Structure 1
Amino acid sequence: MTLHLPDAHGTLRAYEPRTEPLAPTPGAPFTSRTVFSAAHVVADPYADTTPDSPAAVDWDATLAFRRHLWAYGLGVAEAMDTAQRGMGLDWAGAAELIRRSAAEAKAAGGRIACGVGTDQLTGGPATLAEVRAAYEEQLAVVEESGAQAILMASRALAATARGPEDYLEVYGHLLRQAAEPVILHWLGPMFDPALEGYWGASDLDAATDTFLDVIAAHPDKVDGIKVSLLDARREVDLRRRLPKGVRCYTGDDFHYPELIAGDEQGFSHALLGIFDPLGPLAAEAVRVLDTGDTDGFRALLDPTVELSRHLFQTPTRFYKTGVVFLAWLAGHQTHFTMVGGLQSARSLPHLARAYELADRLGLFPDPKLAEDRMRTLLHLYGVTP
């Protein structure tokens, strides 16, 4: 049945929804790449909250979505920016999420890595000692849960550090005490404007040198790096300069097929927010890559880039709204409500285009359910046939 979707100019146009989904099958972890999906959290729609309230999470639905990802062989990157870390989910909520998800991973036999940051520092400027202590507190929670640690970029450190030497000191301190090799995360300012000038310089070449100095000083404590700069050439250059044994996990939601496929000098693994809505399809593509069929991998994954670029368009940090919207349409949750009220962060034309692109890819297990829910949303906005 025809839907009338608003475009960016406010004009309604007819769209015929797809009737058959793709049918990827669950399977074991991959052999050629390590792949994490950064997973979203499901809000409790019945909680009486305000945008400033602590997050109210629907734990059953949140953990069910992680089991969905594990079933397809994907790892889960927990309590990252996709989970609205620092955009609705505070440290208390993140700590609870880490503990619950790590326990669920153990029960399900799934791989999990969890974000370590400093977001408990909310009272204004912090000292370097306070930044270190905040990182240490969160690192202890993750390690005690049995999960791998991802050292995330810190807003507090970006505000406090006087130059590259402070980053070298803080990260060196943390890496020396980490029990197991960690993943270092470089999140660009397009995802979080407060991280401008990270690693002590706005010049990315200088920042890259400092980042590599951190790794070179402790290569045995760095499993890999996650790079989220949306710059494929820079990621490839950085990947080629890594010490032997240190992985590059692409966080580039614009260029991930080519970066994962790689070239004659290497490839990137993946830790991606777009693999939340793309999970089953991405898993199928990586299994094709496991057979050595790069062309088949690209044939499956290249068509998804248009959707990813749409979800991550400027202002990029609000991509979470589209991710949760697609989870609702796909039937992974019963509502389109987000912690912090972030469901209002994207327009109806933006959401309508996300639906159309996802539907064309066959991402919805039940296309009729997705169509009915899209129709409901259109009615709420006053769109009538």
Structure 2
Amino acid sequence: MSIRLPGADGGYRVHRPGTEPLPPLNCPPARSRRFHAAAHVVADPLSAAAEAGPAVDWEATLAFRHRLWAQGLGVAEAMDTAQRGMGLDWPAAAELIRRSAAEAAAVGGRILCGVGTDQLPPGGPHSLAAITAAYEEQLAHVEDCGAGAVLMASRALASAARGPEDYLEVYGGLLRQSAQPVVLHWLGPMFDPGLAGYWGREDLDEAAEVLLKIIAECPDKVDGIKVSLLDAGREVALRRRLPEGVRCYTGDDYHYPELIEGDGELTGDALLGIFDPIAPLAARAALALDRGDRVGFRGLLDPTVPLSRHLFAPPTRYYKTGVVLLAWLAGHQAHFTMVGGFQSARSLPHLATAYEQADLLGLFPDPLLAEHRMRQLLAVHGVGS
């Protein structure tokens, strides 16, 4: 069998679907690294409430998280992969955090949850006091649920801050009152244009100095820093300057194999959106590192980079569309629908390439189902295959 796929050049190519998917894997978390998958949410397209706000299929959403935990991966909950700031509002995110944290506790799964300021009305302007209060409300919720916190970058703070001193004031206050060490998040403008100039500096080297100063003032309250700049050299340089005991969680979906592997002296942990669709390979790669098998680790993860670079191609913030497509094709959910209708954010040729590359990696448990669903998607768009 073969399937005809549309290309970006207006033409078509023939793809022969694979027949040898990766076998199921159940394993404990890796010992040598911390791997967290930023997980997507499954929309509920049948809910009448979807017209008034985000409607989530809780059963399918939580079932996907159980798949990640079963493969030894941690879950990074209510992050940008879950459409925070792109369809998922704070009330829905708060409920997602509550439910996921309870499920994690029941199975002993690792979980980190995003803390932001997205309950504030968009547009602003907002005072630093209001921004701090919003952060505090979300941090208290995450801690009350028994989960670890990721202090996400705030559009409101990026808009209101007059300079580095405002970031030092807000983050310093949050760190001093947090019950447990938190993860800081530096999300670049390629993921969210509203975060340009974060930490009070347009120059990234100067911005890094501000971030390091925030960490240096409360190192015992910082578990790590998640760096999402898609700049491997800059991330390595920052990693070398972190205080002892502060982790660097790569958020670089372009260069993650080498950043996780490290150089023998410094190694990296990971909190990645790409781990959502490539979980079976990420889990196997983590086990390879536990065995000290660096060649095997790279042999598993390096082939996934073309898929990741494709999903995260500009405009990068729409990577979530490809992630949800692959979850549907893999049989992890019954439809290709997203909160806010973002399933339409990528072109059909883009989605066709995502299917092809994921299939070549053996990521579909049932290749025939994936092929059938891809044909359905093509047919909806008027493409015979």
TM bucket by the smaller chain? over 0.9
Alignment partner, residue 62 of structure 1 = 61
Q: Calculate the TM-score normalised by the size of structure 2.
A: 0.99
- Partner residue in 1 for 2:103: 104
1:22 corresponds in structure 2 to 22
In structure 2, what is the equivalent of residue 87 of structure 1? 86
> Any idea what SS the aligned residue of 1:371 has?
helix
Three-state SS of the structure 2 residue aligned to 1:107 is helix
Q: Please give the residue correspondences for 1:172-183 in structure 2 after superposition, counting only pairs within 5 Å.
A: 172-183=172-183
Q: Secondary structure at the match of 1:223?
A: strand
Structure 1 CA distance for aligned equivalents of residues 350 and 147 of structure 2: 36
| Amino acid across the alignment from 1:139 | L
- Which whole-Å CA distance do the structure 1 matches of 2:49 and 2:384 have between them? 31
CA contact 1:322–1:354 (8 Å) conserved in 2: yes
Q: Give, in angstroms, the shift of residue 24 of structure 1.
A: 4.8
- In the other structure, the counterpart of 1:314 is 314
Deviates more, 1:193-202 or 1:257-266: 257-266
Q: State the Cα distance separating 1:50 from its structure 2 match.
A: 6.1
Contact 2:44/2:50, CA 8 A, preserved across alignment: no
Q: Which residue of 2 aligns with 1:214?
A: 214
> Are 1:13 and 2:13 counterparts?
yes
How many angstroms apart in 1 are the aligned matches of 2:39 and 2:117? 20
Tell me, what secondary structure is at the counterpart of 2:48?
coil
CA–CA separation in structure 1 for the residues paired with 2:241 and 2:40: 32
Establish whether residue 299 from structure 1 lines up as the match of residue 299 from structure 2: yes
Instruction: Name 2:74's counterpart in structure 1.
Output: 75
Structure-to-structure mapping, 1:32-51, within 5 angstroms:
32-48=32-48
Aligned partners of 1:91, 1:344: CA distance in 2, in Å? Answer: 23
Q: Distance in 1 between matches of 2:27 and 2:10?
A: 43
Q: Is the 8 A contact 1:286 1:297 kept in 2?
A: yes
1:253 aligns with 2:253: yes
Distance in 1, Cα, partners of 2:8 & 2:48:
33
**Structure 2 residue 112 is matched with structure 1 residue 113:** yes
In structure 1, C-alpha distance between the alignment counterparts of 2:48 and 2:241, rounded to whole Å: 50
Query: Which stretch has the larger CA shift, 7-16 or 225-234?
Result: 7-16
- Cross-structure match for 1:193: 193
| Per-residue Cα deviation, 1:17-47 (whole angstroms, up to 9, x for no partner) | 1011012511001010011000000000102
One-letter code aligned to 2:192: D
Contact conserved, 1:77 with 1:271, CA < 8 A, in 2? yes
- What's the counterpart of residue 366 of structure 1? 366
**AA matched with 1:190:** M
Any idea what SS the aligned residue of 2:337 has? coil
Query: Which stretch of structure 1 is more off in the superposition, 122-131 or 136-145?
Result: 122-131
User: Partner letter of residue 119 of structure 2?
Assistant: Q
Displacement after TM superposition at 1:12 (Å): 1.5
Given that 1:24 and 1:284 are in contact with CA atoms closer than 8 Å, whether structure 2 keeps it comes out as no
Amino acid at match of 1:109: G
Distance, in Å, in 2 between the alignment partners of 1:24 and 1:2 is 25
Instruction: Report the CA distance between 1:49 and its aligned residue.
Output: 5.5
Match of 1:31 in 2: 31
Q: State whether residues 26 and 72 of structure 1, in contact with CA within 8 Å, keep that contact through their aligned partners in structure 2.
A: yes
Deviation by residue 1:255-294 (Cα, 9 ceiling, x = unmatched):
0000000003201100000000011110001101111111
2:333 is aligned with 1:333: yes
Q: Which amino acid aligns with 1:154?
A: S
Give 3-state SS (helix, strand or coil) of 1:37's partner.
strand
1:125 aligns with 2:125: yes
1:296 is paired with a residue of what secondary structure? helix
Indicate conservation of the 8 Å contact 1:30/1:286, yes or no.
yes
Equivalent pairs, count: 384
Contact 2:22/2:280 (CA < 8 Å) preserved in 1? no
C-alpha separation between the residues in 1 aligned to 2:116 and 2:4?
43
For the residues of structure 1 that align with 2:339 and 2:25, how far apart are their CA atoms?
31
Say if 1:105 and 1:50 are closer, same or farther in 2 by CA, change over 3 A. closer
Distance in 2 (alpha carbons) for counterparts of 1:24 and 1:65:
14
Q: Is the partner of 1:180 in helix, strand or coil?
A: coil
The Cα shift of 1:122 comes to: 1.2
- How do 1:244-283 residues align onto structure 2 when only pairs under 5 Å count? 244-283=244-283
> Following the alignment from structure 2 to structure 1, what is the Cα–Cα distance between the partners of residues 229 and 205?
13
Aligned residue for 1:186, secondary structure, equals: strand
Report if the CA contact (8 A) 1:228-1:250 is conserved. yes
Residues 356-383 of structure 1 show CA distances to partners (whole Å, capped at 9, x for unaligned) of 0000000000101000000110111111
**Structure 2 counterpart SS, 1:249:** strand
Structure 2 residue ranges without an equivalent (≥5): none
Distance 1:13 1:36 in 2: 35
- Inter-partner Cα distance in structure 1 for 2:3 and 2:23: 24
CA distance in 1, matches of 2:186, 2:24: 32
What fraction of aligned residue pairs are identical, expressed as a percent? 71
- Consecutive unaligned residues in structure 1, runs of 5 or more: none
- Please report the RMSD computed on the Cα atoms of aligned residues, expressed in angstroms: 0.9
Partner amino acid, structure 1, of 2:35: V
